Chains A and B, each alone.
Chain A
Amino acid sequence: MARVIVDVMLKPEILDPQGQAIARALPRLGFAGVTEVRQGKRFEVEIDGPADEAALADVRKMAETLLANTVIEDYSVRVEQ
């Protein structure tokens, strides 16, 4: 059993109005000094075998095919320790 984490973020050049709305709300709540917020998605993928290179290659394929739209999003894959 292993857990693989896939983080998906809008590419830096793509406007993130949700992140901007969050950033605008923070000062009203008393949080000062925040210059930017960008919102993304985190997927926790449980696999039944070890998180070896073959398994990670599979998860990267999942990310590429479904979890992220690589036209507008970047993704990263890591094993949760």
Chain B
Amino acid sequence: MSETSARRSRVEGYESMGAARVGVVTFPGTLDDQDAARAVRHAGGEAVPLWHADRDLKGVDAVFLPGGFSYGDYLRCGAISRFAPLMEELIPSARAGLPVLGTCNGFQILCEAHLLPGALTRNENLHYVCRDQRILVENATTAWTGDYAPGQEILLPVKHGEGRYVADAATITALEDGGQIVFRYLGGNPNGSVNDIAGVSNEAGNIVGLMPHPEHAVEDLTGAPGVDGRGFFSSILKRFVNL
């Protein structure tokens, strides 16, 4: 498809339907922003590009922090991105209730920004892992998981070298007791994360981070393991329709 016809179909096919506007952030080194934007449009929303250097959230209803290697992963994954001008706007808005989803590098950024507890560090086996991963959805009440059933098993791609979730014992207990472990790995832990944790939320449930990639699993043609990632995007869009 030519770029012009692609743009036309985007306008005709999606933007007219889009009530909810989901911001997709691009840092230098972000890789998955195009897939994330496409997944938002696929679900019927409007994807709004947000640039790391702009202090402007453009009035979006929710924000997606995609994966990649922002700022080259220098120092620690997400450590420098966390201080980007856009983040200075995003952090207080997220604390005030703006729904934010971070996948992979986006999850690392959310932890570095202390919007989510814990940290992500080097995979236990030191291998970069790229595979289809079975995931258990444990909490289907967050802003991003409402369209799943609690206990549902989904299949999403994982691809990371630093995805081992760690936190002190008291934090893990609080997360377990508070239902903040949103996703757990099934059928083998790819990175050695504590209690097989694949993703967590903040207490309010508006901020969710996970290592797997729902944005890569929304279309049969290219979503290697299937379309189980669609629920993230339909969840967030329905939330705004219902408001």
Q: How large is the interface on B (under 10, 10 to 19, 20 to 34, 35 or more residues)?
A: 20 to 34
Instruction: Please give the residue numbers on chain A whose beta carbons come within 8 Å of chain B beta carbons, in ascending order.
Output: 10, 13-15, 17-18, 21, 66-67, 69, 71-72
Interface contact A71-B122, CB-CB below 8 Å:
no
- Residue B141 is within 8 A (CB to CB) of chain A in the complex: no
- Residue B123 is within 8 A (CB to CB) of chain A in the complex: yes
Interface contact A71-B126, CB-CB below 8 Å:
no
| Contact among A15, A17, A66 with B79 in the assembled complex (CB-CB below 8 Å) | A66
- Residue B89 is within 8 A (CB to CB) of chain A in the complex: no
Interface contact A14-B166, CB-CB below 8 Å:
yes
- Residue B124 is within 8 A (CB to CB) of chain A in the complex: yes
Interface contact B79-A71, CB-CB below 8 Å:
no
> When A14-B121, A18-B126 are in contact, do A66 and B167 touch as well, CB less than 8 Å?
no
Task: Among A10, A13, A66, A69, find the residue whose CB has the most chain B CB atoms closer than 10 A.
Answer: A69
CA distance A65 to B119 in the complex (A): 15
Interface contact B124-A17, CB-CB below 8 Å:
yes
| Contact among B119, B124, B126 with A72 in the assembled complex (CB-CB below 8 Å) | B119
Within the complex, what minimum Cβ distance (angstroms) separates A21 from chain B? 6
| Contact among B83, B118, B125 with A71 in the assembled complex (CB-CB below 8 Å) | B118
Q: 7 smallest A-B Cβ distances: which pairs?
A: A71-B119, A72-B119, A17-B126, A17-B124, A69-B119, A17-B122, A69-B76
Q: Could you say which residues of chain A place their CB within 8 Å of the CB of B221?
A: none
> When A66-B75, A71-B111 are in contact, do A21 and B126 touch as well, CB less than 8 Å?
yes
Q: Could you say which residues of chain B place their CB within 8 Å of the CB of A66?
A: 75, 79-80, 83
Interface contact A67-B126, CB-CB below 8 Å:
no
- CB within 8 Å of A: which of B105-148? 111-112, 117-119, 121-126
CA distance A18 to B127 in the complex (A): 11
Q: Could you say which residues of chain B place their CB within 8 Å of the CB of A21?
A: 126
- Residue B192 is within 8 A (CB to CB) of chain A in the complex: yes
Interface contact B166-A72, CB-CB below 8 Å:
yes
* Identity of the chain A residue whose Cβ is nearest the Cβ of B80 in the assembled complex: A66
Q: Could you say which residues of chain B place their CB within 8 Å of the CB of A13?
A: 168
